[in-house]
Chain A
Amino acid sequence: QVQLQESGPGLVKPSETLSLTCTVSGGSITTYYWSWIRLPPGKGLEWIGYAYYSGSSNYNPSLKSRVTISLDTSKNQFSLKLSSVTAADTAMYYCARDHNILNAFDVWGQGTMVTVSS
Protein backbone atom coordinates (compact mmCIF):
# COMPACT_ATOMS: atom_id res chain seq x y z
CA GLN A 1 0.00 0.00 0.00
CA VAL A 2 1.02 3.60 -0.47
CA GLN A 3 3.08 5.11 2.34
CA LEU A 4 4.33 8.66 2.84
CA GLN A 5 7.32 9.81 4.89
CA GLU A 6 8.26 13.40 5.64
CA SER A 7 11.86 14.51 6.14
CA GLY A 8 13.66 17.78 6.80
CA PRO A 9 15.11 20.02 9.52
CA GLY A 10 13.25 20.17 12.80
CA LEU A 11 14.51 23.67 13.61
CA VAL A 12 14.45 26.71 11.33
CA LYS A 13 15.54 30.24 12.17
CA PRO A 14 13.14 33.17 11.79
CA SER A 15 13.18 34.78 8.32
CA GLU A 16 14.72 31.66 6.76
CA THR A 17 13.10 29.10 4.43
CA LEU A 18 11.50 25.92 5.73
CA SER A 19 12.15 22.98 3.39
CA LEU A 20 10.54 19.56 3.72
CA THR A 21 10.39 16.50 1.49
CA CYS A 22 7.79 13.76 1.32
CA THR A 23 8.85 10.39 -0.09
CA VAL A 24 6.09 8.29 -1.61
CA SER A 25 6.48 4.51 -1.61
CA GLY A 26 4.19 1.78 -2.90
CA GLY A 27 2.69 3.90 -5.64
CA SER A 28 3.47 6.45 -8.32
CA ILE A 29 3.47 10.16 -7.70
CA THR A 30 2.15 10.69 -11.23
CA THR A 31 -1.37 9.89 -10.09
CA TYR A 32 -3.44 11.87 -7.62
CA TYR A 33 -2.72 15.28 -6.14
CA TRP A 34 -0.22 15.71 -3.32
CA SER A 35 -0.75 18.12 -0.45
CA TRP A 36 0.94 19.57 2.60
CA ILE A 37 -1.09 20.21 5.74
CA ARG A 38 0.05 21.52 9.10
CA LEU A 39 -1.12 21.45 12.72
CA PRO A 40 0.13 24.32 14.88
CA PRO A 41 0.28 23.65 18.62
CA GLY A 42 -3.13 24.11 20.20
CA LYS A 43 -4.82 24.85 16.88
CA GLY A 44 -6.62 23.01 14.11
CA LEU A 45 -5.43 21.59 10.82
CA GLU A 46 -4.49 24.01 8.03
CA TRP A 47 -4.20 23.02 4.36
CA ILE A 48 -1.08 24.58 2.84
CA GLY A 49 -1.38 23.59 -0.80
CA TYR A 50 -1.10 20.88 -3.42
CA ALA A 51 0.85 20.00 -6.52
CA TYR A 52 0.17 17.68 -9.43
CA TYR A 53 2.70 15.99 -11.70
CA SER A 54 1.48 18.01 -14.67
CA GLY A 55 3.01 21.03 -13.01
CA SER A 56 -0.18 22.54 -11.67
CA SER A 57 -0.36 23.69 -8.08
CA ASN A 58 -2.64 25.62 -5.78
CA TYR A 59 -2.04 27.21 -2.42
CA ASN A 60 -3.86 28.52 0.61
CA PRO A 61 -4.31 32.24 -0.07
CA SER A 62 -3.07 33.00 3.45
CA LEU A 63 0.32 31.45 2.60
CA LYS A 64 0.44 31.80 -1.18
CA SER A 65 3.12 34.50 -1.30
CA ARG A 66 5.54 32.32 0.69
CA VAL A 67 4.82 28.77 -0.47
CA THR A 68 6.13 26.54 -3.25
CA ILE A 69 5.19 22.88 -3.62
CA SER A 70 6.89 20.83 -6.32
CA LEU A 71 7.18 17.22 -7.47
CA ASP A 72 10.27 15.20 -8.40
CA THR A 73 8.91 12.29 -10.40
CA SER A 74 12.37 10.70 -10.78
CA LYS A 75 12.58 10.29 -7.02
CA ASN A 76 8.84 9.85 -6.37
CA GLN A 77 9.00 12.75 -3.94
CA PHE A 78 7.33 16.08 -3.45
CA SER A 79 8.56 19.03 -1.48
CA LEU A 80 7.45 22.09 0.44
CA LYS A 81 9.26 25.38 0.68
CA LEU A 82 7.93 28.09 2.98
CA SER A 83 9.91 31.30 3.02
CA SER A 84 10.30 34.09 5.58
CA VAL A 85 9.14 31.91 8.46
CA THR A 86 8.12 33.22 11.85
CA ALA A 87 7.18 31.57 15.13
CA ALA A 88 3.62 31.32 13.78
CA ASP A 89 4.89 28.70 11.32
CA THR A 90 5.86 26.35 14.14
CA ALA A 91 3.75 23.24 13.58
CA MET A 92 3.57 19.55 12.84
CA TYR A 93 3.78 19.27 9.06
CA TYR A 94 2.05 16.41 7.25
CA CYS A 95 2.19 15.34 3.64
CA ALA A 96 -0.93 13.68 2.28
CA ARG A 97 -2.40 12.12 -0.84
CA ASP A 98 -5.43 13.92 -2.18
CA HIS A 99 -7.72 11.24 -3.61
CA ASN A 100 -9.79 13.07 -6.20
CA ILE A 101 -12.45 10.33 -6.40
CA LEU A 102 -12.92 9.95 -2.65
CA ASN A 103 -12.65 13.73 -2.45
CA ALA A 104 -10.51 13.45 0.67
CA PHE A 105 -6.97 13.05 1.99
CA ASP A 106 -6.82 9.27 2.20
CA VAL A 107 -3.14 8.62 2.96
CA TRP A 108 -1.03 10.69 5.36
CA GLY A 109 2.58 10.71 6.45
CA GLN A 110 3.38 10.44 10.15
CA GLY A 111 4.26 14.11 10.30
CA THR A 112 7.38 16.06 11.18
CA MET A 113 7.60 18.77 13.81
CA VAL A 114 9.17 22.03 12.71
CA THR A 115 10.03 24.71 15.25
CA VAL A 116 10.88 28.24 14.21
CA SER A 117 13.30 29.73 16.70
CA SER A 118 16.61 31.49 16.81
Chain B
Amino acid sequence: EIVLTQSPATLSLSPGERATLSCRASQSVSTYLVWYQQKPGQAPRLLIHDASNRATGIPVRFSGSGSGTDFTLTISSLEPEDFAVYYCQQRSNWPPWTFGQGTKVEIK
Protein backbone atom coordinates (compact mmCIF):
# COMPACT_ATOMS: atom_id res chain seq x y z
CA GLU B 1 0.00 0.00 0.00
CA ILE B 2 1.31 3.43 -0.92
CA VAL B 3 1.45 5.81 2.03
CA LEU B 4 1.02 9.52 1.38
CA THR B 5 2.46 11.96 3.91
CA GLN B 6 1.19 15.51 3.83
CA SER B 7 2.96 18.46 5.41
CA PRO B 8 2.51 20.59 7.29
CA ALA B 9 -0.49 19.31 9.22
CA THR B 10 -1.67 22.89 9.70
CA LEU B 11 -0.75 26.01 7.78
CA SER B 12 -1.63 29.37 9.34
CA LEU B 13 -1.73 32.16 6.79
CA SER B 14 -3.48 35.43 6.06
CA PRO B 15 -5.69 36.19 3.05
CA GLY B 16 -3.56 37.26 0.13
CA GLU B 17 -0.59 35.12 1.17
CA ARG B 18 0.80 32.21 -0.83
CA ALA B 19 0.13 28.68 0.42
CA THR B 20 2.45 25.78 -0.36
CA LEU B 21 1.26 22.29 0.60
CA SER B 22 3.35 19.16 0.27
CA CYS B 23 2.45 15.53 -0.40
CA ARG B 24 5.12 12.82 -0.38
CA ALA B 25 4.51 9.24 -1.53
CA SER B 26 6.21 6.18 -0.09
CA GLN B 27 7.00 5.03 -3.64
CA SER B 28 6.69 6.54 -7.08
CA VAL B 29 3.17 7.31 -8.29
CA SER B 30 4.38 8.94 -11.53
CA THR B 31 1.93 11.82 -12.02
CA TYR B 32 -1.10 9.91 -10.78
CA LEU B 33 -1.73 12.31 -7.93
CA VAL B 34 -4.97 14.13 -7.11
CA TRP B 35 -5.76 17.05 -4.80
CA TYR B 36 -9.12 17.68 -3.09
CA GLN B 37 -10.42 20.53 -0.96
CA GLN B 38 -12.86 19.95 1.88
CA LYS B 39 -14.68 22.65 3.81
CA PRO B 40 -16.52 21.96 7.10
CA GLY B 41 -19.83 20.21 6.53
CA GLN B 42 -19.17 19.77 2.82
CA ALA B 43 -18.06 16.94 0.59
CA PRO B 44 -14.53 16.95 -0.80
CA ARG B 45 -14.15 18.86 -4.07
CA LEU B 46 -11.81 17.85 -6.86
CA LEU B 47 -9.15 20.51 -7.47
CA ILE B 48 -6.29 18.94 -9.40
CA HIS B 49 -5.92 15.63 -11.24
CA ASP B 50 -2.87 13.99 -12.78
CA ALA B 51 -0.65 16.14 -10.55
CA SER B 52 -1.06 19.41 -12.42
CA ASN B 53 -4.39 19.56 -14.27
CA ARG B 54 -7.00 21.84 -12.79
CA ALA B 55 -10.51 20.38 -12.70
CA THR B 56 -13.37 22.20 -14.38
CA GLY B 57 -14.22 25.48 -12.69
CA ILE B 58 -11.17 25.59 -10.41
CA PRO B 59 -9.59 29.07 -10.22
CA VAL B 60 -6.15 29.60 -11.70
CA ARG B 61 -4.73 30.52 -8.29
CA PHE B 62 -4.66 26.78 -7.59
CA SER B 63 -1.76 24.91 -9.19
CA GLY B 64 -0.23 21.49 -8.75
CA SER B 65 3.23 20.24 -9.55
CA GLY B 66 5.51 17.28 -9.04
CA SER B 67 6.09 13.74 -10.15
CA GLY B 68 7.40 10.51 -8.71
CA THR B 69 7.23 10.88 -4.93
CA ASP B 70 7.10 14.63 -4.28
CA PHE B 71 4.14 16.86 -5.05
CA THR B 72 3.07 20.40 -4.26
CA LEU B 73 -0.24 22.21 -4.25
CA THR B 74 0.18 25.98 -4.44
CA ILE B 75 -2.48 28.59 -3.83
CA SER B 76 -0.95 31.77 -5.20
CA SER B 77 -3.00 34.26 -3.17
CA LEU B 78 -5.39 32.98 -0.54
CA GLU B 79 -9.00 34.02 -0.78
CA PRO B 80 -11.29 33.78 2.30
CA GLU B 81 -13.05 30.76 0.77
CA ASP B 82 -9.77 28.84 0.44
CA PHE B 83 -9.42 28.16 4.16
CA ALA B 84 -10.16 24.45 4.30
CA VAL B 85 -8.58 21.02 4.55
CA TYR B 86 -6.68 19.73 1.53
CA TYR B 87 -6.10 16.04 0.78
CA CYS B 88 -3.87 14.36 -1.75
CA GLN B 89 -4.69 10.95 -3.22
CA GLN B 90 -2.67 8.52 -5.32
CA ARG B 91 -4.14 6.81 -8.36
CA SER B 92 -1.08 4.76 -9.28
CA ASN B 93 -1.26 1.51 -7.32
CA TRP B 94 -4.41 -0.18 -6.15
CA PRO B 95 -6.13 -1.61 -4.34
CA PRO B 96 -6.36 0.44 -2.34
CA TRP B 97 -6.48 4.00 -3.57
CA THR B 98 -4.95 5.92 -0.66
CA PHE B 99 -5.21 9.45 0.67
CA GLY B 100 -2.93 11.63 2.73
CA GLN B 101 -3.96 12.69 6.21
CA GLY B 102 -4.74 16.21 5.09
CA THR B 103 -3.37 19.72 5.56
CA LYS B 104 -5.58 22.29 7.24
CA VAL B 105 -5.14 25.83 5.93
CA GLU B 106 -6.36 28.17 8.64
CA ILE B 107 -6.63 31.91 9.01
CA LYS B 108 -3.73 33.41 10.91
Q: Which residues of A contact B (CB under 8 A)?
A: 43-47, 49, 58-62, 94, 102-106, 108-111
Contact = CB atoms under 8 A, between A and B. Distances in A.
What range describes how many residues of B lie at the interface?
20 to 34
Contacts of B1: 61
B32 A103 contact: yes
A75 B34 CA distance: 31
A44 B89 CA distance: 11
Interface of B: 1, 32, 34, 36, 42-46, 49-50, 55, 87, 89, 91, 94-102
Contacts of B55: 102, 104, 106
A3 B102 CA distance: 25
B44 A110 contact: no
B62 to A, nearest CB: 14
Output the residue of A59, A103, A110 with the most chain B CB within 10 A.
A103
27 contacts: A43-B101, A44-B99, A44-B100, A44-B102, A45-B89, A46-B99, A47-B98, A47-B99, A49-B95, A58-B94, A58-B95, A60-B96, A61-B1, A62-B96, A103-B32, A103-B34, A103-B49, A103-B50, A103-B91, A104-B46, A104-B49, A104-B91, A105-B34, A105-B36, A105-B46, A106-B55, A109-B43
Contact of A44 (B42, B50, B87, B97): B87
